[in-house]
């Protein structure tokens, strides 16, 4: 028994109906059909049609019965049409069966491919998720790397900066300005060990992130400072991080400001020398300090420790150098007893004027030494001329006029005094070119020499000499004002008079003199 699936069962009935103009047929036949053969053929066709409609299949035996039966006339034509339809149906079924095999094979491949695609999709999704994770990690590492680069750049620049200055207080201020924003500190302070005050820690500078932090913390600093010095001894010899300072017993009993998140953690950073002696202390407050912050603080501490040692060494050498210079200057006062204290006064006047004119610290140091050595050339002046109790003759004054050049010759070959020697040589030059030893004019004279000239002349006029008493301050100021622009630089004179009015604590002039100057100007 063979069952062939077909979808054209309705075509048979349609052909029959079209051929015989019938709307229906039954087992009894009807509509005047007398031909028994046709009726029999229609019964067989109906069976096939019923089978197709009910199960979508037909029995090959029914078809064979139709094929084997003999028909004539119109029934024979109907049989031929039926055979043709059956052949076409069989051909179609055969093609469908072949296509079904191909389709099954294709569906199998498609199913396998679909499984592979699903597997690939899962792998791609996993790879995509991993790629996102890698990207996020790379971005995090890139941010961290950029932060490290910036930190190293700041540290490198700081290392370069500290090599350009040997002022330890300036070093401390610079490091506080550099490091506080880098570690995102809300507050920072830096203190230096002051050996002149029993080694107490002196406050040098503070840092506040913003006005809000200032208002929050500044009122409480009075609990930890006394007259600018740390009021308590903190025994820290290494970098220490207090993660929650609100719970620190010592601080908690003083203030409760540190309950805020941005002021939660405290970093105590000692700065030490090679002998492990504490030279300075840094305190920073932030929400937290990570390992990177701690490493950076440690680096800054080490660099600053070396810089402070170098600054101290320079300070010691400079002090020794200046003491040596003072020894040379004192040799002049030994010869010229009437000028005792003159060097110190000229030095003080000159330094005050230079600072008022915004000279750099290096320039102030140079003018300080130049003022001390301005009369060093008098070593070569005979004692009988230098200490003559009466007025000098023209010939003797010509000898005195040689002392600036002699001073220049004495110190010009000393590397540390080479630049300073020029100021020593020019301190008796005048703006109008009538000075000595070279008769220079305004633009040819160094500003340092112009300053020393005013300071020297003022003290010389107000000091006693073997042949006269010192002038009053009022008279000396009057003479300086009369000669500004010709003998003295007008700008230096103006600044010097401002210095006299402001510095009433000079121990070698009276309040009355300052009042006289104020009345005169």
Q: How far is CA 259 from the centre of its chain?
A: 28
How many domains does the chain contain in total?
3
Give 154-208 as a 3 state SS string.
HHHHHHHHHCCCCCHHHHHHHHHHHHHHHCCCCEEEEEEEEHHHCCEEEEEEEEE
* Three-state DSSP class for residue 477: helix
Q: What is the three-class DSSP state of 402?
A: coil
Does 128 fall in a domain?
no
Asked if pLDDT for residue 429 goes beyond 90, the answer is yes
Least confident of 28-37, 130-139, 458-467: 28-37
Judge whether 320 lies within some domain. Answer: no
Tokens in use for 221? 């600093």
Local confidence band at 265 (pLDDT 50, 70, 90 cut-offs)? confident
Task: State the pLDDT at residue 182.
Answer: 84
If 0-12 CB within 10 Å is exposed, 13-18 middle and 19+ buried, where does residue 427 land?
buried
Compute the average pLDDT of residues 29-52. Answer: 57
Domain assignment present for 264: yes
Q: Identify the pLDDT of residue 217.
A: 81
Per residue in 463-494, pLDDT (tens digit) is: 877 767 888 888 899 999 999 999 999 999 99
Cβ-contact 335, 379 below 8 angstroms: yes
Lowest mean per-residue pLDDT among 38-42, 362-366, 423-427: 38-42
In a domain, 376, yes or no: yes
Domain assignment of residue 343, yes or no: yes
The 3-state DSSP class for residue 430 equals coil
- Is there a single domain that holds both residue 106 and residue 216? no
Mean pLDDT over residues 373-381, rounded? Answer: 87
C-alpha 345/C-alpha 458 separation (Å) is: 10
Both 284 and 226 in one domain: the answer is yes
Asked if residue 499 and residue 409 are part of one domain, the reply reads: yes
Do 368 and 492 belong together in one domain?
yes
Token code pair at residue 407? 């001073």
Rounded Cα–Cα distance for residues 333 and 330 (Å): 5
Dist CA 266 CA 477 (whole Å): 57
- Which residues are paired to 271 by β-bridges? 280
Same domain? For 371 and 245 the reply is no
Q: Is the pLDDT of residue 440 over 90?
A: yes
C-alpha–C-alpha distance, residues 271 and 281, integer Å: 6
- Mean pLDDT along residues 176-192: 87
Lowest mean pLDDT among 8-17, 63-72, 414-423: 8-17
pLDDT at residue number 241: 86
Helix axes 74-162, 60-68, angle to 10 degrees: 150
Same domain, 251 and 391: no
For residues 373 and 260, state if they share a domain: no
8-state DSSP, 465 = B
Q: Determine the pLDDT at residue 378.
A: 86
Percent share of the chain, pLDDT over 70: 72
**Confidence band, pLDDT 50/70/90 cuts, at residue 308:** confident
The predicted structure's pLDDT at residue 255:
54
The pLDDT assigned to 64 comes to: 62
CB atoms inside a 10 Å sphere around CB 47: 17
For the four alpha carbons of 443, 445, 448 and 450, in that order, the dihedral sign comes to negative
Same domain, 341 and 269: no
pLDDT the model gives residue 18: 41
Q: For the ranges 13-22, 113-122, 396-405, 506-515, which has the lowest average pLDDT? A: 13-22
Last residue of a domain, one of 63, 87, 119: 119
How big, in percent rounded to 5, are the helix, strand and coil portions of the chain? 65, 10, 25
Inform me whether the pLDDT recorded for 7 exceeds 50.
no
Region 23-33 average pLDDT = 38
The domain that holds 363 is classified in CATH as 1.10.3210.10
At 110 the pLDDT is 87
Phi, psi dihedral angles at 272 (to 5 degrees): -125, 160
pLDDT recorded at residue 15? 40
Highest mean pLDDT: which of 4-13, 71-80, 473-482?
A: 473-482
Query: What confidence tens digit (pLDDT) does each residue in 387-417 have?
Result: 777 788 888 888 889 999 999 998 888 888 8
Q: Is the pLDDT of residue 434 over 80?
A: yes
pLDDT confidence of 266, banded at 50, 70, 90? confident
Helix or strand run (H / E) with residue 287:
none
Query: Where residue 71 falls among pLDDT bands split at 50, 70, 90?
Result: low
**Is residue 81 a part of any domain in this protein?**
yes
The residues with which 187 forms a beta bridge, in sequence order, are: 208, 285
Containing domain of residue 509, as a range? 336-520
pLDDT of 225 reads 75
Say if residue 202 is in the same domain as residue 346.
Answer: no
Task: Taking residues 312-322, report their average pLDDT.
Answer: 77
Residue with tokens 């003290």: 459
Strand partners, 5: 57
pLDDT at 455: 94
Instruction: Identify which of 358, 490, 376 has the alpha carbon closest to the alpha carbon of residue 424.
Output: 376
Question: Is the predicted pLDDT of residue 214 greater than 80, yes or no?
Answer: yes
- Looking at the fold, whether 265 and 392 belong to one and the same domain comes out as no
For the chain, what's the residue count? 521
What confidence score (pLDDT) does residue 275 get? 82
Q: What is the mean pLDDT of the chain?
A: 77
The answer to whether residue 150 sits within a structural domain is no
Give the gyration radius of the chain's Cα atoms. Answer: 56
Looking from the CA of 368 toward its CB, the CA atoms found within 13 Å total 18
Summarize the confidence of residues 485-513 as an average pLDDT: 75
Quick one: average pLDDT of 345-365? 91
Residues 184 and 262 in one domain: yes
Helix (H) or strand (E) holding 280: strand 278-286
pTM of the model: 0.54
Last residue of a domain, one of 254, 274, 301: 301
Q: Name which residue leads in pLDDT, 287 or 233.
A: 287
CATH value at residue 207: 3.30.450.40
Q: Indicate the residue among 62, 89, 119 that finishes a domain.
A: 119
Residue 186 lies in a domain: yes
Q: Which two tokens stand for residue 479?
A: 């003479």
Q: Are residues 281 and 361 in the same domain?
A: no
* Per-residue pLDDT tens over the stretch 200-210: 888 889 999 88
Residue pointed to by tokens 């060990």: 193
Q: Which helix (H) or strand (E) holds 14?
A: helix 9-20
Q: Which residue carries 């941010």 as its tokens? A: 143
Q: CA-to-CA distance for 498 and 503, rounded, in angstroms?
A: 8
pLDDT for the residue 251: 61
- As a whole number of angstroms, the distance between CA 271 and CA 176 comes to 13
- In the block, tokens 């350009």 appear at 164
């Amino acid at each position: 028994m063979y069952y062939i699936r077909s979808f054209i069962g309705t075509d048979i009935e349609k052909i029959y109906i079209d051929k015989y103009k019938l709307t229906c047929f039954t087992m009894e036949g009807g509509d005047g059909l007398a031909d028994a053969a046709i009726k029999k053929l229609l019964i067989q066709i109906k069976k096939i049609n019923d089978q197709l409609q009910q199960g979508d299949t037909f029995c090959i035996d029914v078809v064979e019965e139709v094929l084997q039966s003999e028909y004539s006339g119109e029934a024979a034509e109907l049989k031929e049409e039926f055979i043709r339809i059956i052949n076409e149906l069989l051909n179609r079924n055969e093609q469908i069966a072949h296509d079904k095999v191909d389709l099954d094979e294709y569906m199998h491949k498609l199913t396998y491919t679909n499984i592979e695609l699903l597997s690939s999709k899962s792998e791609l999704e996993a790879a995509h998720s991993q790629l996102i994770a890698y990207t996020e990690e790379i971005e995090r590492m890139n941010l961290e790397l950029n932060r490290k680069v910036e930190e190293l750049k700041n540290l490198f620049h700081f290392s370069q900066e500290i090599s350009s200055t040997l002022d330890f207080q300036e070093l401390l201020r610079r490091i506080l300005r550099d490091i506080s924003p880098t570690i995102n500190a809300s507050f920072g302070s830096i203190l230096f060990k002051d050996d002149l005050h029993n080694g107490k820690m002196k406050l040098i500078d503070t840092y506040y992130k913003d006005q809000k932090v200032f208002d929050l913390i500044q009122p409480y600093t009075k609990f930890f400072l006394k007259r600018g010095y740390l009021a308590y001894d903190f025994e820290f010899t290494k970098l220490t991080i207090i993660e929650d300072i609100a719970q620190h017993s010592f601080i908690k009993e003083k203030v409760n400001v540190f309950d805020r998140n941005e002021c939660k953690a405290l970093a105590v950073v000692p700065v030490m020398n090679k002998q492990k002696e504490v030279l300075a202390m840094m305190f920073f407050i932030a929400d937290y300090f990570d390992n990177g912050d701690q490493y950076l603080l440690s680096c800054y501490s080490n660099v600053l420790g070396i810089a402070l040692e170098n600054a101290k060494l320079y300070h010691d050498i400079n002090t020794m150098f200046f003491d040596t210079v003072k020894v040379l200057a004192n040799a002049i006062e030994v010869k010229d007893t009437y000028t005792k204290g003159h060097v110190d006064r000229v030095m003080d006047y000159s330094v005050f004027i230079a600072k008022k004119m915004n000279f750099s610290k290096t320039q102030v140091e140079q003018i300080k030494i130049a003022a001390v050595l301005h009369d060093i050339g008098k070593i070569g002046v005979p004692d009988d001329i230098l200490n003559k109790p009466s007025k000098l003759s023209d010939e003797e004054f010509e000898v005195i006029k040689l002392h600036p050049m002699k001073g220049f010759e004495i110190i010009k070959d000393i590397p540390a005094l080479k630049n300073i020697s020029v100021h020593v040589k020019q301190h008796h030059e005048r703006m109008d070119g009538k000075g000595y030893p070279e008769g220079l004019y305004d633009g040819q004279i160094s500003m340092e020499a112009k300053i020393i000239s005013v300071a020297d002349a003022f003290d010389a006029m107000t000091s006693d000499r073997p042949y006269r008493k010192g002038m009053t301050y009022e008279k000396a100021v009057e003479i300086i004002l009369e000669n500004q622009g010709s003998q003295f630089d007008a700008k230096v004179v103006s600044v010097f008079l401002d210095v006299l009015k402001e510095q009433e604590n000079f121990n070698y002039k009276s309040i009355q003199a300052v009042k006289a100057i104020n009345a005169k100007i």
